[in-house]
Structure 1
Amino acid sequence: MDAVLLARIQFALTIMFHYIFPPLTIGLGWMIFMYNTRYQENGNTVFRQLAQFWTKVFAITFVIGVATGITMEFQFGTNWAGYSRFVGDIFGAPLAAEGIFAFFLESSFLGILLYGRKKVSQKMYWFSSLMVAVGATMSAFWIVVANSWQQTPAGFEIVTEMVNGVEVSKAQLTNFWEAVFNPSTLPRYSHVITGALTVGVFFVLGTSAWQLLKGRSTEFFRMSMRTAIVPCFGVIMLTMIVGHHHGHQVAETQPAKLAAFEGIWETQTHAPLMLFGLPDQEGEKNHFAIQVPGMVSLMVGGKFDTEIQGLKDFAPEDRPPVAMSFWSFHLMFYMGLWMALVAFLGVVFWLSKKLLDHRIYLWAAAITVPIPFLANEVGWMAAEVGRQPWVVYNLLRTEKAVSLSVPAGQILASIIMFSCIYALLFGIWIYLLKRQFKKGPDSIESLEAEVK
């Protein structure tokens, strides 16, 4: 058994499972804020009802997300000692900022949303919903800062020190703000946030459609679905625009990753966009390629004669795994097109006031619920696999980042243990969500009585 491979599998397992929950809380946080804002503006109790129901769903997801996130930080010290030693001076600051400025902000004001409804003014309650959404969004910023530094390191210098009589190198922070706002931070963060908003709005849309198909709390979920249509369309369009901008940054700072995404082997102008194909890393070619001539050059540089660097310009040992990079990126793209179609049709039916008359559309919206989750997962897979073989781009190889003292058998045992725990947590999450949806929203009468 290969300890490096097992350590990578364990980290992938834990981070991918954890990442089910933060995007949903970010997206739901802003939907809840929207509902509270509408209630603050017009006093329509339906919006308070919407805010209350989705706050409970948010809380369930938040708790499970916290539980799943704890294990990741421990891995840095157990499986990735070489990485922790190299980036500790850089990585510690954003992780601390995430805990101090974001997590506590989000969790504190969430307590007011859950238990302070009768104890604070409506303005304070509205402000609390804003702080929950801001806290969730800020939390993502500091995590993205840490990860983006691995992609495009900045604001540091390499120093050496003696550890147990052995000279080792590490990155030492020289400029905090250069490290925070490294070349990929803002493009990646904007893409992460729009991706998270996509998860939240499509979750509201799709689960509401499913409840309507089941005939549960129909008036409430009709309103819930209507309020999600325009945000779905706006967010998926914004995500595509931001994703395109992010692609420009990747082309400038990580050309090998872009070449792997697009299956480009030769450096060329008029580089084609491959809609489908089977990259062959060993043969350095693509099979069954369906391409749009010149489109990658046009998208990256705004003109067909923009030169795109090919994979053959890089030593074989410096190339990312091409097939996995290519397919994860393309799956994200295909799923984005599906979501755009669902959102567009929703707007058409909404404008014609026939949204809820189309049972096929309700089914389409319902089956779309897992699509944004999967799109986020494969998007991160593309970003992380595309960075290989570097854990810190062009500075530290992944094979040099693992802990030498942790045997493969122990890593395998922990993978099995984590898998069992995560299966249990996922089951609990689904059970609690099903119970909440089956219970439905608080009645309008009870909410109006609270106001009086």
Structure 2
Amino acid sequence: MIDPVAASRFQFAVTTIVHIIFPVMSMGLAPFLIYFTWKDIRDGDPVYEQLRRFWTKIFAISFVVGTVTGLVLEFEFGTNFAAFSVFAGELFGGPLATEGLMAFMLEATFLGVFLFGRERVSDAMYFVATLAVAVGTWLSAVWILIANSWMQTPRGYEVVVENGQRVVHLVDPVAAYLNPRFPFMFVHMQNAAVESVALFMSGVAAYHVFRHHVWGYPVESIAFWEKSLKVSLVALAITAPLQVFHGDLYARHVFETQPQKFAAMEAVWETDSYVPEYLIAFPTSIENLLNPRAKDIFGIGIPGGASWLASGGDPQATITGLNEFEGSPPVAIVFWAFRAMVAMGFWFITLAFWGCYRWWRGELFEDDLLHKALMGSSLLGIVAVELGWVVTEVGRQPWLVQGVLKTSEGVSPGLTAAEATFTLVAFVVAYTLLLSLYTYVVARIIRAGPPTGDELRSVTDESPDGTGPGEPTPATDAESGEVTVDD
């Protein structure tokens, strides 16, 4: 049997790692769907209607699965972390409840119109529905990140004793909800979601473009995939540099507010100055892999880079070592996750400018090496998001609420080792199956490709002359041309 604290932490980690995939897809797709809908309504170009319909399918399945897995996470606060819920419920419960009342209800109200109402409502109403669903998706992130950011930099509260238990009282909602960490987390997370979807979209599009232009394989609606590749590259060229730039500001904020986490990110154990920032690092032994120390790591780095990053420009700045703090997080996990995430960030910039350069040269659809790189990187954006959350959550340990409540103190007191182990195994199995099913469905959608010309002409309502749904009207039959996309 596994210790209840360890099992609860691992169970929450597993459910979070799987769950975050679905909000990333839905939040990242939201701006694309607004653009596709706007272009479809304004220009009437069938390619944009294809884009809207195709990516709406993936948005819908991601939204549904994300809603279900998100509710499970909230239940875990009661089953596995009841002590934390009692301690911080007054402050933590508010944002979660508001997320359900404001953001989720907004999405749910307009989701039916967005998914099924294109032929039933006016263009203006449909665009309003699209905006409402997209805004609701992002509002969900606002309230979830308010709750999590408060755990990182708690403000606007006081700890009192009620019935013999320490509990948090909310005394300043503005200070608590607009705590110093929130703007950094929100910008970084939302930009990462759009960047991840841009990478996914470009990878899928590159696969079909590669088959058609390089291998000569006949691909139906190749114009759809070419447009997908171009749109995703534009988004990647905007989000990838922004993510690295904002990440620099974010890391500086972490140094100022959570110096222990920053020390773990850089594997600094003894307080030191002129600490290097390793861009590429290799352990010189198994011990250094499992217990890295900056001075013992072999790598390529910038002398004084970590000190410069922490201080905002002073390579001689002092970084407080982990030995100065009470307890320390699992340094190996934080250090290597941070390195991998940063490396991916710079690789995404390389991909973006490589693709844009080929586009400018008129060789975007013929560069097979670029296509292979995009295909191989299609899921790396989501991996980078996962690693970012690992740094965020593992780097805060041993604290559940930074400096206020330790993780070991927040676990449900009545939870036994047998119960924790059983639910952990059950959740691992269930979430593995769920993720496999989601992957299968999305793969089926991608293999099926965009709707054809006949599907684009079909309507869901009965036409005025009495023909049924999806059947061409006599006027359409008389037309000599079809709405198709050139191969």
TM-score range, shorter chain: over 0.9
- 1:60-115: CA deviation from partner (whole Å, max 9, x where unpaired): 11112122222211111111111111110111110011111111212322211211
Q: Secondary structure at the match of 1:356?
A: coil
Tell me how far 1:445 sits from its aligned partner: 5.2
**Residue number in structure 1 paired with 2:129:** 128
**Residue number in structure 1 paired with 2:320:** 310
- 1:96-145: CA deviation from partner (whole Å, max 9, x where unpaired): 11111111212322211211011111122122222222111111111111
Point out the more displaced range, 261-270 or 298-307.
298-307
Whether the 8 Å contact between 1:311 and 1:319 is mirrored in structure 2 is no
**Residue number in structure 1 paired with 2:371:** 362
CA distance in 2, matches of 1:268, 1:283: 16
Whether the 8 Å contact between 2:305 and 2:315 is mirrored in structure 1 is no
Tell me how far 1:25 sits from its aligned partner: 0.6
Q: Secondary structure at the match of 1:159?
A: strand
Tell me how far 1:379 sits from its aligned partner: 0.5
The residue identity in structure 1 corresponding to 2:444 is R
CA distance in 2, matches of 1:283, 1:342: 30
CA distance in 2, matches of 1:303, 1:192: 25
CA distance in 2, matches of 1:410, 1:121: 54
Gaps of 5+ in 2: 212-216, 461-475, 477-487
CA distance in 1, matches of 2:315, 2:309: 11
The residue identity in structure 1 corresponding to 2:47 is V
Alignment of 1:72-111 (within 5 A): 72-111=73-112
CA distance in 1, matches of 2:292, 2:201: 46
- 1:165-194: CA deviation from partner (whole Å, max 9, x where unpaired): xx2111110111111111101011111111
**Residue number in structure 2 paired with 1:66:** 67
**Residue number in structure 1 paired with 2:47:** 46
CA distance in 2, matches of 1:35, 1:445: 20
CA distance in 2, matches of 1:282, 1:119: 61
Question: Residues 293, 220 of structure 1: CA spacing in aligned structure 2 closer, same or farther, 3 A cutoff?
Answer: same
CA distance in 2, matches of 1:160, 1:373: 42
- 1:368-408: CA deviation from partner (whole Å, max 9, x where unpaired): 11101110001100011110000000011111111121111
Question: Residues 403, 263 of structure 1: CA spacing in aligned structure 2 closer, same or farther, 3 A cutoff?
Answer: same
**Residue number in structure 2 paired with 1:227:** 231
Q: Secondary structure at the match of 1:232?
A: helix
Q: Which has the larger radius of gyration?
A: 2
Whether the 8 Å contact between 1:31 and 1:200 is mirrored in structure 2 is no
**Residue number in structure 2 paired with 1:350:** 359
Whether the 8 Å contact between 1:206 and 1:368 is mirrored in structure 2 is yes
**Residue number in structure 2 paired with 1:238:** 242
Q: Determine if the alignment matches structure 1 residue 252 to structure 2 residue 256.
A: yes
Tell me how far 1:318 sits from its aligned partner: 2.5
Q: Secondary structure at the match of 2:296?
A: strand
Same amino acid, percent of matched pairs: 35
Whether the 8 Å contact between 2:88 and 2:167 is mirrored in structure 1 is yes
Whether the 8 Å contact between 2:267 and 2:292 is mirrored in structure 1 is no
Q: Secondary structure at the match of 1:318?
A: coil
CA distance in 1, matches of 2:292, 2:254: 25
The residue identity in structure 2 corresponding to 1:156 is Y
Alignment of 1:9-408 (within 5 A): 9-162=10-163, 167-214=164-211, 215=217, 216-217=219-220, 218-275=222-279, 276-278=281-283, 286-290=295-299, 291-305=301-315, 307-312=317-322, 314-315=324-325, 317-408=326-417
CA distance in 1, matches of 2:294, 2:200: 39
| Aligned positions, number | 447
Question: Residues 442, 305 of structure 1: CA spacing in aligned structure 2 closer, same or farther, 3 A cutoff?
Answer: closer
Whether the 8 Å contact between 2:351 and 2:374 is mirrored in structure 1 is yes
- 1:234-277: CA deviation from partner (whole Å, max 9, x where unpaired): 11111111111111210110011111101223333332212315
Whether the 8 Å contact between 1:277 and 1:286 is mirrored in structure 2 is no
Question: Residues 223, 309 of structure 1: CA spacing in aligned structure 2 closer, same or farther, 3 A cutoff?
Answer: same
The residue identity in structure 1 corresponding to 2:192 is G
Point out the more displaced range, 433-442 or 114-123.
433-442
Whether the 8 Å contact between 1:280 and 1:286 is mirrored in structure 2 is no
Q: Determine if the alignment matches structure 1 residue 442 to structure 2 residue 446.
A: no
Alpha-carbon RMSD across the aligned residues, in angstroms, is 2.0
Tell me how far 1:49 sits from its aligned partner: 1.6
Question: Residues 342, 280 of structure 1: CA spacing in aligned structure 2 closer, same or farther, 3 A cutoff?
Answer: closer
Q: Secondary structure at the match of 2:158?
A: strand
Question: Residues 239, 284 of structure 1: CA spacing in aligned structure 2 closer, same or farther, 3 A cutoff?
Answer: closer
Whether the 8 Å contact between 2:260 and 2:322 is mirrored in structure 1 is no
Q: TM-score, normalised by structure 1?
A: 0.94
Tell me how far 1:293 sits from its aligned partner: 0.9
Question: Residues 101, 238 of structure 1: CA spacing in aligned structure 2 closer, same or farther, 3 A cutoff?
Answer: same
Question: Residues 6, 328 of structure 1: CA spacing in aligned structure 2 closer, same or farther, 3 A cutoff?
Answer: same
Q: TM-score, normalised by structure 2?
A: 0.87
Question: Residues 288, 271 of structure 1: CA spacing in aligned structure 2 closer, same or farther, 3 A cutoff?
Answer: closer
Whether the 8 Å contact between 1:31 and 1:201 is mirrored in structure 2 is no
The residue identity in structure 1 corresponding to 2:440 is Y
Point out the more displaced range, 13-22 or 127-136.
127-136
Tell me how far 1:211 sits from its aligned partner: 3.1
The residue identity in structure 1 corresponding to 2:228 is S
CA distance in 1, matches of 2:68, 2:133: 18
Question: Residues 178, 226 of structure 1: CA spacing in aligned structure 2 closer, same or farther, 3 A cutoff?
Answer: same
Question: Residues 313, 307 of structure 1: CA spacing in aligned structure 2 closer, same or farther, 3 A cutoff?
Answer: farther
Question: Residues 297, 76 of structure 1: CA spacing in aligned structure 2 closer, same or farther, 3 A cutoff?
Answer: same
- 1:182-216: CA deviation from partner (whole Å, max 9, x where unpaired): 11010111111111111111111111122334554
Point out the more displaced range, 434-443 or 4-13.
434-443
